[in-house]
Amino acid sequence: MHAEIVRFTQREIDIKVVDDDDMRVLQWRRRLLHDEVLLDGKPQATSYGMFNREKVYGLVFGSDEEGQGGQRVMLIVDPRAAMNWGSGRPAPLGVRLETAEGPLVAYGSLDPKALEKPATFADWMKKSMGMEWGSWPR
C-alpha cells in the first residue's frame, strides 16, 4: 500500500491511496459544525461539535460485505491552523495515515521527524530557522 497527499488546505485534505492496481481517494473535510472523512466520495466518519472534534479515524480498505478482512488504517489530523508559506493560506498543522506496519503518509506536526529533538545547537538552528552552517572558505 502506498499513499500520497494530493491537496492540503485549511478545510480540505485529499490523500491518494494505491493498493496493488486499486486507487482510492481518502478525503477529510472541515465544515462549520462537523468534520467529515470520505472514501471515494462516500462518507465514512463524521465528528460533530464546535470544539474538540475527533482527530483520529479508523478505516478499513478492502473488506467484504460482512466486514471481514481488509487493510486497517488510521487517519490522524492535527487541525490547528498554521500558515502554509507555499500558498500563503492557513492549513492544518499535520496529517498522518498509518497502517500496522508504519506510516504511509506523515506531514507537518505528525511527521516522526518533527518529534525528534535536535542533538546539537547546529541541528536546532537548522530545524527551527532553516539555517545551515557552512565552511569558510569554499
Tens-place pLDDT, residues 26-38: 999 998 899 999 9
In a domain, 134, yes or no: no
**How many CB atoms neighbour CB 22 within 10 A?**
10
**How many CB atoms neighbour CB 13 within 10 A?**
25
| 128: its cell numbers | 527551527
In a domain, 57, yes or no: yes
In this prediction the pTM is: 0.72
Task: Return d(Cα 9, Cα 56) in angstroms, integer.
Answer: 18
**How many CB atoms neighbour CB 44 within 10 A?**
16
What local confidence, expressed as pLDDT, does residue 61 receive? 81
In a domain, 33, yes or no: yes
What local confidence, expressed as pLDDT, does residue 124 receive? 67
What local confidence, expressed as pLDDT, does residue 88 receive? 65
In a domain, 135, yes or no: no
In a domain, 137, yes or no: no
How crowded is the C-beta side of 30, counted as CA atoms within 13 Å? 19
In a domain, 138, yes or no: no
Total of domains in the chain:
1
In a domain, 136, yes or no: no
In a domain, 83, yes or no: yes
**How many CB atoms neighbour CB 45 within 10 A?**
16
Q: Flag residues of the chain having pLDDT under 50.
A: none
Which residue range is the domain that position 95 belongs to? Answer: 2-129
| 106: its cell numbers | 506523515
Residue with grid cell 466486514, as numbered in its chain:
67
What local confidence, expressed as pLDDT, does residue 129 receive? 64
Torsion from C-alpha of 115, 58, 25, 49, nearest 10 degrees? -90
